[in-house]
Amino acid sequence: MAKVDGPLMSMEARGKLADSIVFFPWKGRHVVRRWLTPKNKESDLQGYVRASLKAIGKFITKIVTTGNGGALDSILYQLATSKAGANMNWNAWLGEGFLDALVAAGTFNTASFTALVAAYSALGSDEKTAYETNAAALAIADFTFDYGYTTEIEAGCILYFGAIAAYNKALAASAPYNIHPDSWAASDVDDFKADMVTDT
């Protein structure tokens, strides 16, 4: 991307020229670059990535926060903000805990995603019911993606993904955060949901 002063003999230029170059301001500078037509790649891998991001995003939006560090911030929010690195948003940091579970040898792995869904499906009936009940109480909704991973992702599974994120980020040294969610009892799932919405 070229940086230009006085492009096209003017003090500012915006827009495209003959579908070949485009002028625009960027970070206070006037720049020019080749005209590109964005493409929405809908490959299987892209579908898996987008389904993963949508799932963890649906979980994160249910964590109660006032946004100003107030007394009504949930325990989970307080744990995440206290452990997130400097200059990193707590929600991106926590979401990374889930995405880390899907990466093998530095590359997003679709088999890891389906393995996590299978692990959720294999939970005991009491534990799976606890995930489903708490997800319903949080108003987390099932969803289906159009390409990539096209099987319905249940609300309880989304909550399970959030538990994986919390475990991978070692939010606390106490239960349930120091136990892999595959081994959580129904009461651990209840406690996790309570930590998402309460401050004590």
Residue 20 pLDDT > 70: yes
Residue 179 pLDDT > 80: yes
Cα–Cα distance between 149 and 170 in angstroms, integer? 28
Question: pLDDT by residue (tens digit) across 92-150?
Answer: 999 999 999 999 778 898 999 999 999 999 999 999 999 999 999 999 999 999 999 99
Residue 164: exposure state from Cβ atoms within 10 A (0-12, 13-18, ≥19): buried
pLDDT band for position 90 (cuts 50, 70, 90):
very high
Residues 6+ apart with CB under 8 A from 36: none
- pLDDT, residue 9, reads 60
Q: Which residue has the higher pLDDT, 74 or 10?
A: 74
Strand partners for 17: 21
With tokens 């959580």, the residue in question is 184
Give the pTM: 0.80
State what percent of residues in the chain have pLDDT above 70: 92
pLDDT band for position 34 (cuts 50, 70, 90):
confident
